[in-house]
Structure 1
Amino acid sequence: MNSGSSTTFTITFNPSAFGVRIATVTFNTNDPNFPSFSYSIQGGGINDADGDIVDAGLDADDDNDGIRDIDECRTCTFDPFQNGSFETPTIPANTFAFLPTATVTGWQTSAEDVIEIWSSGFNGVPATAGNQFAELNANVPGVLFQTFCLNGAGGTINWSIRHRGRSGTDTAFVKFGSSLANALASTPIVTMVSGNTPWATYSGTYTIPAGMRQIVLTFQAGPTASGNQSVGNFIDDIQITINQSCIDSDSDGVADVNDLDSDNDGIPDVEENGFRNLSNQTGTFTKQIHHAGPMPITTVTTITLKR
């Protein structure tokens, strides 16, 4: 490039993977005072199935058919997991209590109508999360459980629990099933065998079978070190994340969230939902209705150099 002149060139970003990519552009010159100079550029690779320049992780309508993903997936959210650390209701410090099941938020029990809750530090046993924890063996070997609705499309459950023996090594079971009876009769997902110091951690991922519309997550007392049915099996810090897959109404292998004709009747969903005047005859909107989040990084950079 001659002295006093300028030039313009364009760098195009065409990513082969998702996420931010960073590069350095270096210019070499024959000027002894400025032999080279560099600057950084970056671009973001996004997962954009419908071409609206919104990453699928932020896009409220992945196929741009006018129906929100949350509605097309039909994820059942009526029964959220609650009270995994047994903090509600609160009992006095340095005590334990037999609480009526109905007062312990989220939890049910099949063995009796009470749940035994300890406060952190009682009898020298600290909670591992929060200020309270539960003992499965209340008056009898107990089962604590919660029940959740599902959309039937399958999915996964990420779960974890802390377990501790009371007088020594205690045993308890994690069991899941479509009903309480099925769960209790099933093979344990994990058998927890833990001493009385410290708390042990158990975790895993459970695959939800397709067609299941309800799941019961149970935590069942087993043998205890004391041999006493009312002594053993502390549990705390239970964490549950239910990831339901999206419904595929017409069983064509494409989930409704990405299917422009989810019932396979030849009429695009965008038209069936009253948006025909906004459709471009390909089953998607011609007009951008909304963005669910910030726009991605620009993928084309134009640079002008002047000497």
Structure 2
Amino acid sequence: MKYITAAIAALAFSSLSNANLITNGGFESPDINSGWTYQLDDLPGGWEGDNIEVWKTGFNGVNSFAGDQHGELNAHPNDGTNFSIFQTFNTVDQADYDFSFAYRARNNNSESFLLEIFTDTSDLFSMIFDDHTTSAWSTFSDVFLGTGELTTFRFTSINPNSGTVGNFLDAVTVEGEVASVPEPGSLALLAIGLIGLGISRKNIRA
């Protein structure tokens, strides 16, 4: 019986794989033909936040860092407060997560933004980015430690804290371990099969 229990536990917790936990990190969705567009609250299957703007590569002379599109953090103010965009995902406790992104100023080199990575109980990373320019993309990468909780990855505009010109973002990734637990029905079928196998072996030995 102890072997059966071990097999079930192994199936439940060994389905670990590495993946990019950020959806639509290149702002490739929605696909736009030219120019720019924006969403009031979120982008399909990915970012949530304040009036997210998407630019087609080449628009106003700005080519995307990767792919055909990139995002702008500050867009279309309606209440005079800072803009934020974010995604929330689950992490594995004590697992390392590599993250990276590209960023570029849109209007002037004084633009800046804050990146925060946090859970309901812990602040995992926080940094202000004020070193980018309008002439080229910059990149940043680092590592944070997962806690096994839901984790939020959030960009917030600082300068300008409101307004329609600000920070470009592209190629956002968070790569690391993802725990995939089998559905209860699958575990039940496995348990029944293994128990049956154990009974069969016991009868043979008898």
TM-score by length of 1: 0.50
Partners of 2:45 and 2:86 in 1: how far apart? Answer: 11
Q: Name the residue aligned to 2:41.
A: 101
Q: Name the residue aligned to 1:202.
A: 140
Aligned pair in 2 of structure 1 residues 122, 137: CA closer, same or farther (>3 Å)? same
From 150, 171, 174, the counterpart of 1:237: 171
Identity of aligned residues (%): 23
Match status 1:133 vs 2:74? no
From 68, 71, 94, the counterpart of 1:154: 94
Q: Specify every segment of 5 or more residues in structure 2 that has no aligned partner in the other structure, as ranges.
A: 1-5, 181-190, 202-206
Structure whose CA Rg is larger: 1
Structure with the higher helix share, 1 or 2:
2
Assess if the C-alpha contact under 8 Å between 1:176 and 1:189 holds in 2. no
Task: Please report how far the alpha carbon of residue 70 of structure 1 lies from its aligned counterpart in structure 2 after TM superposition.
Answer: 5.5
Please tell me the residue identity of whatever aligns with 1:137.
N
Question: 1:19-30 counterparts in 2 under 5 A?
Answer: none
Task: Please report how far the alpha carbon of residue 233 of structure 1 lies from its aligned counterpart in structure 2 after TM superposition.
Answer: 0.4
Partners of 1:278 and 1:188 in 2: how far apart? Answer: 58
CA RMSD of aligned residues (A): 3.7
Match status 1:90 vs 2:27? no
Q: Name the residue aligned to 2:83.
A: 142
Assess if the C-alpha contact under 8 Å between 1:173 and 1:190 holds in 2. yes
Partners of 2:115 and 2:43 in 1: how far apart? Answer: 23
Task: Please report how far the alpha carbon of residue 173 of structure 1 lies from its aligned counterpart in structure 2 after TM superposition.
Answer: 1.9
Match status 1:81 vs 2:15? no
String of CA shifts for 1:250-304, please: whole Å, max 9, x gaps. xxxxxxxxxxxxxxxxxxxx9xx6354699xxxxxxxxxxxxxxxxxxxxxxxxx
Q: Name the residue aligned to 2:157.
A: 221
Partners of 1:144 and 1:101 in 2: how far apart? Answer: 9
Please tell me the residue identity of whatever aligns with 2:57.
S
Aligned pair in 2 of structure 1 residues 100, 154: CA closer, same or farther (>3 Å)? same
Secondary structure of the equivalent of 2:7?
A: coil
Task: Please report how far the alpha carbon of residue 196 of structure 1 lies from its aligned counterpart in structure 2 after TM superposition.
Answer: 1.0
Task: Please report how far the alpha carbon of residue 105 of structure 1 lies from its aligned counterpart in structure 2 after TM superposition.
Answer: 2.7
Task: Please report how far the alpha carbon of residue 190 of structure 1 lies from its aligned counterpart in structure 2 after TM superposition.
Answer: 5.7
Partners of 2:31 and 2:159 in 1: how far apart? Answer: 29
**Equivalenced residues, count:** 182
Partners of 2:146 and 2:129 in 1: how far apart? Answer: 19
Partners of 2:162 and 2:46 in 1: how far apart? Answer: 27
Partners of 2:116 and 2:57 in 1: how far apart? Answer: 27
Q: Specify every segment of 5 or more residues in structure 1 that has no aligned partner in the other structure, as ranges.
A: 1-64, 247-269, 280-307
Partners of 1:89 and 1:129 in 2: how far apart? Answer: 16
Please tell me the residue identity of whatever aligns with 1:132.
Q
Partners of 2:130 and 2:178 in 1: how far apart? Answer: 26
Which structure ranks higher in relative contact order (CA pairs < 8 Å, sequence separation ≥ 6)? 2
Question: 1:110-121 counterparts in 2 under 5 A?
Answer: 112=50, 114-121=51-58
TM-score by length of 2: 0.72
Assess if the C-alpha contact under 8 Å between 1:107 and 1:145 holds in 2. yes
Aligned pair in 2 of structure 1 residues 103, 204: CA closer, same or farther (>3 Å)? closer
Q: Name the residue aligned to 1:252.
A: none
Please tell me the residue identity of whatever aligns with 1:159.
F
Q: Name the residue aligned to 1:292.
A: none
Q: Name the residue aligned to 2:187.
A: none
